Structure formats: C-alpha cells, structure tokens
Structure 1
Amino acid sequence: MVEDVQPVVIVGGGFSGAMLAARLAERGVASSLVDRTGAFGPGLAYSTPFERHLLNVRSDRMSAVEGKPDDFVDWLKDNCPQHADPDGFAPRRLYGEYLQHRLNAARLAHPGMIELVTGDVAAVEDDGVRLADGRVFRARAVVLATGNPAPKTVGAGSRRVITDPWALAALERIGPEDEVIIVGSGLTMVDMALWLDAKGRKGPIKVLSRRGLTPRVHGAGHDHPQPPTGAMLTGPLSRRLAEARRLASDGGWRGVMEGLRPVTARLWAEADAKTRARWLRHLRPWWDVHRHRIPAGVDETMSRLEAAGRLSITAGRVERIEAGAGGVTLHLRPRAGSARPPITGQWLIDCTGPGHAALDDPLTGALIRARRARLDPVGIGLDLDAEGRLLTADGSPDVRLFALGPPARAAYWETTAVPDIRKRIEGLADRLARVQTGPQASASR
C-alpha cells in the first residue's frame, strides 16, 4: 500500500503562492494555500478595482505559466477582447481575474490537490504551521510566499497618516480640495496620484523622496536588448557603470536594461557583501526607476498634473513628522547647513515601499530567533541557497522551508516581477515534487 504524503503548505495566496499551488497540482503535489484575507490569486498587487491602475509590463510578458507565453493574452481574447493587445498594458483588475481563473482551473482539473485556507499563520513549526485560531497544518514543506511587507511608516498612529495606500476606506476620507503629501516617488506614488485625479481630488499632491526620482516611461514598443559587454559584467562598480552609460548613450538606456534582465540574478548572486552594499547604496534608486517603468498614457497624465501645478516632486529626507487633528507637517533635514521649509498638507500617504524588516515580521523574526533562519549578509532579507531554501544560523539549508517572491529578494534581487517569479515557481515545483517525506499525519483543524 502506498501511503499518502503530507501536502506542501504555502503561506500567502497572492500571485506567487497561488501560481505555485496551481503548478504543484499539475505536478501531482497536494498543497494547502493559506491566506489571511482569503483573496486567493490576485493578492494585494492585483486586487485594485480602479480601471486606470494598469500593469507596468506589456501583456505578452505577463503569462503566469512558464513555457506558455501567450496564456494571458489568450485569456484576454476570450474574456476581454478590447484589452487583448499583446503590446498593451491591461488593467491590473483583469490580471487578478486571470490569476483566479488559472487557480480555479487547476483545482477543477486536479480535485483535492489544492486546499484553500483562510487564516492568519501565527508560527512556522518544525512539522508545519500553526494558525492564530489554533488550527495546525502538517506539511512536507513550507513555502513563505507572503508578498511585500508593509512600509515602516514614520508618524504612524495619526488618522492623518495613511500607512496603507491600498486602504480605500482611508483614501475616501480625503476631501476634494485637501492637500496630500506622498512620501516615496515610485510606482505606488503614481498609482495614488492617478486615483486622486480620477476621483476628483483637486488639491495639490506634494511628493517627497530622497532623490526625487520618478519611474521612467516605456518606449513605443518592445525594446531590443543590448547584450552587456564584458566590462559591464566584471571589475569595479565604477567601471561597470561607465560602460553602461556608454552603451546607453549609443543605443538607448532601455536596450541596456533589457540586456541585463537575463543576467541580473546571477550578477547579484556572484557579488560579495561589500559589492552588494555599494549597489544598494548608490545604484538601487536609479535602477528602480529605469527598470520598473510606466506606460506612456500614465506618464502623460503625470506630466499633465505637473504642468497644471497640481503635482510637485521634492528631493529630500524626512527629519520628523508632526501629525495633528487638522493635518500633517513634514520637516526636512537641512542640506549643507541651510534650512528647508516644511511641507504641509491635510493628509500623508506612505508610499515608501516595502519595509523588508525580517526581524520585525512575526513569522520570519521568530524563525531567525530560533536559529532556523538568518539574515542575508547585507541585512535586506532572509538568506537562502540557490534552490530557495532558508539557511539556518550555521549556514546549512533547511530542506523543508522555502521562500518565494518578495521574501526571496535578498537571494535573487529581481523577484517581484511576474516573468522572474514564474521561472522560480517552475524550479521550486520541480524541487518539491522530488521531496521524499513520510506518511501524512492528520491535521488538527
């Protein structure tokens, strides 16, 4: 008699977790997909109902299935043909529906292979996970696919500081003429500006970030990759940057960025801690705005808001935040001894991006304190091996504990975009299909 083995427990029901569950089912591996919200598939990233929140990657690159590049476009053709342009940028709402469709299709095609569990994981234990309500799920392996952590907000605690930019109820409190401060100038800031504009909020939008950099715009079509030269791949960082600038001046920076996509993870993995720290300190802000671009139509809206004086971008650092009953005052750190006037508004929205404080997270912090995990050498996340397994305090891999998507950023760097994550889903599904474990223990549920 062949005994059943325990399922894989996946913590997090967004893109990474849901698409891993679907792929595991297709490989004959059962899983329990646990999510605190019960929004299986879209997750936070693709749950926005706002039609003008578009994908930042062209539709023909957004297939959730490795080896089936037309999967998303084909789904659009069948369900929303008006958005089925392969070179277009579909609404993120539709992509969330596509992910739900794929997950549900896998459940129908492979009955009993995917269990959906709504609940909050309180702890990762030696043999599975324990939920906050006391339920215990035994597992052959546990995969942390918890997505991006919340920002580390300065000034949290005031109702005038909106710590979650996706909390629609909080955003709805903003009045038509209210002045809004946004800290952070990346993609989430763009989303908030689009929402405020479309919802008839006419008050000024005052954006602050350390360097005042904003996302660059996509070109008219797919950019031809400019293969990186040897001088870009080896040697001192200053020489690599000089070579990248030379290539960008010859053929355009978009081609240079496209050429780096296939080798980014390898370059990060090969770099020592000192080099990684220099990249984070000096290169990351410039990398982010060139790598994570916005559609031309979105860029036109942002330019229109700036030209009308409704959107301003300021470079600077926050010294302190004063939040009272009537508004928020943002005090800036002086530069070279010169005082800078504060920024005032009725509301502050935190768009600084993921906090990435593994020690502060209830799950990963507990694993680190128990020596079942450790921080990576530069302290931006969990330390993993090449197969995505968490490394324990002594550097040995935990054969039953994996990270996927944003929680794996310290190992792979580029691990938030769909084309990158789906490749890792394929590799992880292959790995988990080969894991040999004992008989299934009954779960207390």
Structure 2
Amino acid sequence: MTTDHVAIIGGGFSGALQAINLLRHHGPRATLIERRSAAGRGVAYSAAHPDHLLNVRAGNMSALPQDPDHFARWLERRHPALAGGFAPRLVYGDYLSELLADARAAAPDRLTILEGDAVDLIPHGESWRVALADGRTIDADAVVLAPGNLPPHVPAGIDAQALAPGVFVAEPWGSDLAAGLTAEDDIVVIGSGLTMIDIALLLEARGFGGRILAVSRRGLSPRAHAAVTPSTLDMRPPPNAMALLRHMRTRSEEVGWRAAVDEMRPYTEGLWMAADLDERRRFLRHVRAWWDVHRHRIAPQVAEKIAALRAAGRLEIVAGKLGAVTAAGAQAEVRYRRRGQDAEELRVVRRIINATGPQGDLLRSSEPLLRRLIARGAIRPDPLHLGIDVTPQSEVIDAQGNAQPTLLAVGPMTRGTFWEIVAVPDIRRQTWAVARKLSNAHWVGGEGL
C-alpha cells in the first residue's frame, strides 16, 4: 500500500519532530493535529518558567540526528551568551517552533498544521479516519500517535473533592502554583524527582517564602551534572538487573559515577529489549529509582539553587509514605511516615502538589482517544503498563497481538518497548527511523530541506 498522507496526532516535541523528519525525507504529505493553539512546544517547552533549564547541555540537544550540532549553532546565532551550557527550556521551545515553521514554509503543500482535539481513530478501508471533537474528520493512509506524557495519577489517599478549592493540584503544569500562598504557608509536594525540582524553582521565582516538604518512597532527587572525562566500556554490560547494579558500582569506583552512567548509553535500549519480562520487573523494582536520579541529571546552577533552599530549611526531602489527607478549612492535614519509622507525622499545609511523574497505564487514562482505541482493540498496554505496546519498529500492537504497519506510536508512551525514550536524543532517533519507514527510504542519511 502506498502511503501518500500521514496524520500525526499530537504536536508536542515528538509529533512536531515526526512531521519535520517526514519532510526532510521527502516523504508523504503530513497533517499535524495539535489541541493547543501552537504546535512544536508541548508541555515541557511551553509551560516552563525562564528559570527552568534543559537537563542536557546544548551540544547534545539537536533535534536532527544527522546534524548533532544543529541546536548549538542555532543558539550561537540567536543567544550566543547561552551557547555551550544549559539553555532555558523556553528557548528550546523557540528552537522547535522555528524548525517546524521553516519546514512548513519550505514545503507548504506537504505539511498542514491543524488545531483540533482528536477523539477517535477509526479504520476506513485500508486507511484511517481521524475524528475531531468539533465534528471534522481527516482521512490518512497511516497514523502516528504522539501523545507525549500523560498527566500523573492522583495518589492513593487523596480525595480532591473533599478538599477546599486550590488545596490539591493534580497537574502542576499550567497552574499558578504560588497563587494565594504566603510566607507563613507550608506546602507538600508528592514526589522528589525532576518535576519536584521544577516546582521548587517556580515557587522560588514567584516569591514564595514558605516551606516545601517533598515526600517520596525513597527520598531520592536528581544529581547534578559536572565536567566528566568520557570513558568507554570494553565489554557489554551484564543484562541481569542485580548484576548490572553491581557492575555500575564497580565502574563508578573506577571512572566516577557520571562517566559510568554515560558509558552505558549505547547499551541501555538493547539491554532492555533483550531482557525478559521478569528481568524488566526486577529492574523497575530495584534499580529504576537509582538509575533515574543518576541518569537524568540537572544543570549545576539548578542544583545550587536547590541546595540553597535545603540549607535554608525551606525545602525538605523526605523518604517516606503518605498517609491520610483530610480537609482543615482552607488547608489540609497531611500525615506521613518517614522510612524506617513507625510513628506518623502531621503537617498542616496550604497546598498539595502532585509531582509523581507522568502516568503510563493506558487502562487508567481519561484521554478519549486512547480510551476508544483500547475499547476497539486497536491498541493495548505493554506488559508492564508503561505505555502503548509497540514493536521495535514503533508499530502499534493491537489487542490480538498483531503489529499494524500503518498505525505507529512515538515518544515517551513507547517506553515499555524502548525504555530510554524520554529524552531528546532518543526521540529524535526514533522519529527519524519512523520517517524513513513511512517514506520508504532505503538509503543512509537524508537531505535537509
């Protein structure tokens, strides 16, 4: 079947880059469908504050895998003072938007950007029909799902309806987290990862002078970047989760933990894909939390701000378990138990912010499109419920276990298959490969627009 038209559902980083790569491969005509008014930014690069920096240096943030210095050169031209370091996420959003606009200007007859909310996807002969919330439909020979990160689940023990308005924030992005807060207020952040870091920076930038308590099961927070002497493994790392942990400890003593983590990058996807289901479960249960905080690091200047907040007693990170949450007028009583302790502690807070990270379990998603596709059997959760089940070629697997060459998925919701698919270097490689497939490209590389 010839692919003349591809519909891309979701216009954040993954979807926008998919459209750009289709054009760069001189592939089929594309329609990029995005519910927001502006495509190309997504939540990560549109809802950020100027203090929110990229977690990767500019030199490795090119959106184009065949041109690794592309973003660095763009930054030199547009913001030379930022070149070589950790650029603001809003600036990176400008870069993505410009890439998309340039691609559209160079081939206006091959890329349509459509503002709309895709709510259903129906087989239509040998093609697909995308239904939008406003009644419009779009027919396409192939569809790429690019939903990005789904909102976090509401943690167990919290009944948002029982709390006063504004006390519980289920989704931190797009909200004025500091609204109504005073220097006398306490807040609780559920989670201590990258989202918690963003929340603390945002509250500080907005002038919040109160105290922040961050609670997570292990109390781990992201480590900081630092200058590293690159090292290279002379052997393939062990595939067993516990052996891998021992290997990382040994290598950390030999070359430093940052270099030990970085030298794993060429192997992580292959190790994950080669591991059986039980081994993947062991990794998620015993290693994931430690891997995440060492692998997904923060800029040194961000780490300094977080350290200053902790030193001043304005940010406390606790390893523990959230207990009962009850209403207390315009506040909430939050009980929690520190790890290794039997007694619960009580904190009266003005706000509770959910920073547990993006959800992946399709069966708990409230997205109309995903729910309808699940009900129809067109998609299914991966075995670990990390996202959408896909093949190594990013083809969506239906409820009967069949791969669908004309229905693909890209981005973080394919982590069940690829694991390392949440950062720019991984997604740019995936979208490039999908573009080659849909464009029937059999040569290496590609010509730019």
* Residues 1:245 and 2:249 aligned together: yes
Give the aligned residue type for 1:133: D
* Residues 1:256 and 2:268 aligned together: no
8 Å contact 2:386–2:413 — kept in the other structure? no
- Select between 44-53 and 296-305 the one with higher mean Cα deviation: 44-53
Runs of 4+ in structure 1 over 3 Å off: 3-6, 168-171, 333-337
* Residues 1:148 and 2:149 aligned together: yes
Distance apart, 1:188 and its partner CA: 1.0
8 Å contact 2:321–2:339 — kept in the other structure? no
Q: Deviations over 1:96-131 (max 9, x none)?
A: 000000000001111121111111111121113111
Distance apart, 1:428 and its partner CA: 0.4
Distance apart, 1:39 and its partner CA: 2.5
Change (3 A) 1:140 1:325: farther
Give the aligned residue type for 1:405: G
**5+ unaligned residues in a row in structure 2: which ranges?**
442-449
Aligned identity (percent) is 39
Hey, what does 1:22 align to over in structure 2? 20
Hey, what does 2:238 align to over in structure 1? 233
Q: 1:389 aligns with which of 395, 401, 405?
A: 395
Indicate the SS of the match to 2:371.
Answer: helix
8 Å contact 2:6–2:140 — kept in the other structure? yes
Give distance in 2, aligned partners of 1:75 and 1:134.
40
Give distance in 1, aligned partners of 2:175 and 2:339.
36
Q: Deviations over 1:163-191 (max 9, x none)?
A: 12122335433334321111110111111
Indicate the SS of the match to 1:411.
Answer: helix
8 Å contact 1:160–1:325 — kept in the other structure? no
* Residues 1:46 and 2:45 aligned together: yes
Hey, what does 1:440 align to over in structure 2? none
- Select between 395-404 and 168-177 the one with higher mean Cα deviation: 168-177
Indicate the SS of the match to 1:21.
Answer: helix
8 Å contact 2:16–2:39 — kept in the other structure? yes
8 Å contact 2:241–2:287 — kept in the other structure? no
Give the aligned residue type for 1:43: G
Distance apart, 1:228 and its partner CA: 6.6
Q: 1:204 aligns with which of 208, 211, 219?
A: 211
Distance apart, 1:30 and its partner CA: 1.3
Q: Deviations over 1:232-290 (max 9, x none)?
A: 324x4322221221111111111111111111111111111111111111111101100
Q: Deviations over 1:353-394 (max 9, x none)?
A: 011121233323322222222222222222111100111122
Give the aligned residue type for 2:145: L
Query: TM-score of the superposition, structure 1-length normalised?
Result: 0.92
Give distance in 2, aligned partners of 1:281 and 1:39.
38
* Residues 1:319 and 2:323 aligned together: yes
- 1:328-367 matches, cutoff 5 A: 328-332=332-336, 338-361=342-365, 362-367=368-373
Q: Deviations over 1:132-174 (max 9, x none)?
A: 1111111111111111000101333442011121223354333
Indicate the SS of the match to 1:169.
Answer: coil
Give distance in 2, aligned partners of 1:73 and 1:335.
44
Q: 1:112 aligns with which of 106, 109, 112?
A: 109
* Residues 1:429 and 2:435 aligned together: yes
Total equivalences in the alignment: 428
Q: Deviations over 1:193-230 (max 9, x none)?
A: 1111122111001110110000001013x541342744
Distance apart, 1:337 and its partner CA: 7.7
Change (3 A) 1:247 1:175: same
8 Å contact 1:223–1:258 — kept in the other structure? no
Indicate the SS of the match to 1:248.
Answer: helix
Indicate the SS of the match to 1:316.
Answer: strand
Hey, what does 2:138 align to over in structure 1? 137
Distance apart, 1:81 and its partner CA: 1.4
Give the aligned residue type for 1:146: P
Give distance in 2, aligned partners of 1:37 and 1:223.
42
Indicate the SS of the match to 1:233.
Answer: coil
8 Å contact 2:183–2:208 — kept in the other structure? yes
Give distance in 2, aligned partners of 1:66 and 1:337.
49
- Select between 300-309 and 21-30 the one with higher mean Cα deviation: 21-30
Hey, what does 1:443 align to over in structure 2? none
Give distance in 2, aligned partners of 1:363 and 1:228.
46
Give distance in 2, aligned partners of 1:243 and 1:5.
46
Indicate the SS of the match to 1:116.
Answer: strand
Give distance in 2, aligned partners of 1:271 and 1:228.
21
8 Å contact 2:248–2:261 — kept in the other structure? no
Change (3 A) 1:348 1:423: same
8 Å contact 2:395–2:408 — kept in the other structure? yes
Distance apart, 1:336 and its partner CA: 6.8
* Residues 1:191 and 2:167 aligned together: no
8 Å contact 1:48–1:92 — kept in the other structure? no
Hey, what does 1:62 align to over in structure 2? 61
Change (3 A) 1:323 1:112: farther
Distance apart, 1:324 and its partner CA: 4.3
8 Å contact 2:336–2:345 — kept in the other structure? yes
Give distance in 2, aligned partners of 1:80 and 1:148.
29
8 Å contact 1:257–1:291 — kept in the other structure? yes
Q: 1:417 aligns with which of 423, 426, 429?
A: 423
Give distance in 2, aligned partners of 1:280 and 1:5.
38
CA RMSD, 1 decimal: 2.0
* Residues 1:287 and 2:287 aligned together: no
Change (3 A) 1:229 1:320: farther
* Residues 1:378 and 2:384 aligned together: yes
Query: TM-score of the superposition, structure 2-length normalised?
Result: 0.91
Change (3 A) 1:407 1:251: same
Indicate the SS of the match to 1:342.
Answer: strand
